[in-house]
Structure 1
Amino acid sequence: MLRLSTQMCRQGVWALSRLPSSRNALQTVTRKMTQQRAPADWTTSIRTEPKEKEKITALGWFLLLIPATTFGLGCWQVKRKIWKEQLIKDLHEQLNMAAVELPENLADLSHMEYRLVKVRGRFLHDKEMRMGPRSLIRPDGGETQGGLFSQRDAGNGYLIVTPFQLSNRDDIVLINRGWVSRKHVDPETRALAQPQTEVELTAVVRQGEARPQFTPDHKSANMYLYRDLPRMCESSGAAHVFLDAVYDPQAMSGGPIGGQTRVTLRNDHMSYLVTWFSLSAATSFLWYRQIVKRLAF
């Protein structure tokens, strides 16, 4: 019976659909049901908010010390460069100042480097020493090419350092008389330029030198590679005073040529400040890229 009822219902619906009016009514009902259906909501229940900006950690702020420190060192080198240039300028001005009398207390000369002083006395040629090899500093300030390995160069020679007995005093000081070529190193080759009487001259106050790096020991008792003031004074009996004689245009030919004072002050601060500022710029860029922008290489 149930099967019969189902079949009758299907036949009734089929019969109704065959009628034109019934077909239109069925389409109208279907259209209204479709329009009343709520649209599907495909959104999820999770809120999507903009990503919060990541904060810089304590380690990130600590790494900022690297560019900040290198920038500070660059500024410090700028100040050092200005100070060194002014110091070199002052030293050159001292070399052009009027000469003063040698002080009674020779210890005062320790604070007078590069000052011009007047001395009077006589040379003790029997205790003469040599220092070098050295290149010649010409009166115009230029230098000839010469050094330890340029044995055949005409501009290569030695400085003649001679003890000097001061007049009316028992003090003996060391005076760098000047430069001589290799062929005039021996005193016999410049006998006419070895004054035996008292002379008066102007000289520049100098201090001793520390042993330069990689410099070997002195060749002999009267041959020195650098201004080793303690050993020079010990071997000659002179006080710890070293003077460079100034250039004398009336000096005899073949004799020592004065004016061999070098203002030995290194000024490498320009290269230092460029290095520090470059490091500061590079590390600042890396810090901004890695810590702030968090960009990978």
Structure 2
Amino acid sequence: MLRLPTQMFKHALILQRLPPPCNGNTTVKLVLRKMNSQRPADWPIGVATNAKDKEKITALGWFLLLIPATTFGLGCWQVKRKIWKEQLIKDLNEQLRMPPVELPDNLRDLDKMEYRLVKVRGHFLHDKEMRIGPRSLIRPDGVETQGGLFSQRDSGNGYLIITPFQLANRDDIILINRGWVSRKHVNPETRALGQNQTEVEVTAVVRKGESRPQFTPDHKGGDNYLYRDLPRMCSSTGAAPVFLDAVYNEQVAPHSPVGGQTRVTLRNDHLSYLITWFSLSAATSYLWYRQIVKRIPF
């Protein structure tokens, strides 16, 4: 309902105070003529304009549109990351099936050869043996055993045996993960037949060191490690910063370390990330359309 201006109320009061009409209502006509002349200037004419203003999207409304647009862009980026990570994992697994190559003369070249198979010749320094664990056994078929049950405590839970390896015809010493042993065979005396002192040729996978995982305590010293702490292992044994995982070999002595404990462990959580971003984009787009465009209250 339109609100009448103050001036109109004044004219209405004047009409009420006028004497009864006479002589053709000359006085009333003069008053009405004055009201009509002032009406365009005094009456509110912005009702239609206000309705259009309400339909306009403000600068703040357009700014809020950045939220669904940004989350949609992040979802598209995660799609690209997922494709890239899956291709990388595929390439690394293919490297594990490629023929082994000779160990390069410059050991620094191994920094760009992770997950490549190499051949090395030399002998193990068993007196400097170390272990990493506890670890589950990765069987030759790729299945990882789950230790912890009474029936599987010895067969599914153990340690990785890390032994310095003196290269033949070279002064370099490197570290080789010979493989997994159960808890009852951690002591070298329990697997004496596998402690070969002669020169051997080993096929192994190039690996890099690890950063300390979150919530993992630091090493307490000794020859037991919780992760591949390459700097500390090399410092205690005098080895070069080279770490290799021996491949699986059926022709080993009983109770010897089981090789083939390499697994491509690149995280690939991009599917969950892209679902999260696209869901946020859809939800915020709906809220923006409802609140900014349609102006529907909750």
Question: Same fold per TM (> 0.5)?
Answer: yes
Distance between the aligned counterparts of 2:86 and 2:246, measured in 1?
25
C-alpha distance after superposition, 1:142-175 (max 9, x if no partner): 000137xx99453000000000000000000000
User: Could you list the per-position Cα deviations for residues 183-239 of structure 1 after superposition, in whole angstroms to 9, with x for gaps in the alignment?
Assistant: 100000000011010000100000000000111122432100000000000000000
Contact kept? 1:121, 1:167, Cα under 8 Å: yes
| AA partner of residue 198 (structure 1) | E
Contact between 2:101 and 2:119, CA under 8 Å: does it hold in 1?
Answer: yes
Matches within 5 A, 1:227-246: 227-246=228-247
Q: Residues 46, 223 of structure 1: CA spacing in aligned structure 2 closer, same or farther, 3 A cutoff?
A: closer
The gaps in structure 1 that reach 5 residues or longer are 1-44
TM-superposed CA distance for 1:262, in Å, is 1.9
Structure-1 residue corresponding to 2:296: 295
In 1, the alpha carbon distance for the partners of 2:253 and 2:264 equals: 26
Match of 1:171 in 2: 172
Counterpart residue number, 2:225: 224
The equivalent of 1:5 in structure 2 is none
Q: TM-score, normalised by structure 1?
A: 0.82
* Deviation of 1:54 (Å): 1.4
Contact persistence 1:203–1:243 (CA under 8 A): yes
1-structure distance, mates of 2:218, 2:211: 12
Q: Hey, what does 2:203 align to over in structure 1?
A: 202
The whole-number CA distance in structure 1 between the counterparts of 2:225 and 2:198 is 27
User: Take 1:49 and 1:177, find their aligned partners in 2: how far apart are those partners?
Assistant: 84
* Counterpart secondary structure, 2:92: helix
TM-score, normalised with respect to structure 2: 0.81
Q: Percent identical across equivalent pairs?
A: 80
Long gaps (5+) in structure 2: 1-42
User: Larger radius of gyration, structure 1 or 2?
Assistant: 1
Task: Say if 2:209 and 2:230, in contact at 8 Å, map to a contact too.
Answer: yes
CA distance in 2, matches of 1:143, 1:162: 23
Q: How many residues align?
A: 252
The SS at the match of 2:55 is coil
Query: Would the alpha carbon gap of residues 121 and 49 (structure 1) be closer, same or farther in structure 2, given more than 3 Å must change?
Result: closer
| C-alpha contact 1:145 1:153 (8 A) present in aligned 2 | no
Tell me which stretches of 4 or more aligned residues in structure 1 moved more than 6 Å.
Answer: 45-48
Letter in 1 for 2:179: G
- Give RMSD over aligned pairs: 1.9
Deviation, 1:250, is 1.2
Q: Which amino acid aligns with 2:292?
A: I
Specify the code of the residue in structure 1 equivalent to 2:104. Answer: P
Q: Secondary structure of 2:147's partner?
A: coil
Kept in 1, the 8 Å contact 2:154–2:184? The answer is no
| In structure 1, distance between residues paired with 2:147 and 2:237 | 28
Q: Is the 8 A contact 2:122 2:167 kept in 1?
A: yes
